[in-house]
Amino acid sequence: VVVHELCHLEHMDHGDGFKALLTHLMPDWRERRQALNHNAARW
């Protein structure tokens, strides 16, 4: 979540540039997002 928000300092939307930066910083972000969404009910 922190890296996601930091990427918004460079890209205000969730467009291609945002996703490219997020992938560069955290290549497994899709898997992490899936795990976070799967476990969200526990929080």
Position 41 scores a pLDDT of 80
Q: What is the pLDDT of residues 14-26, one digit of tens each?
A: 999 999 999 999 9
Got the DSSP string for the chain?
Answer: -HHHHHHTTT-SSSSHHHHHHHHHH-TTHHHHHHHHHHTGGG-
What's the pLDDT band for 42 if we cut at 50, 70, 90?
Answer: confident
Return the half-sphere exposure (C-beta side, CA atoms, 13 A cut-off) of residue 23: 8
* 22-23-25-27 Cα dihedral, nearest 10 degrees: 140
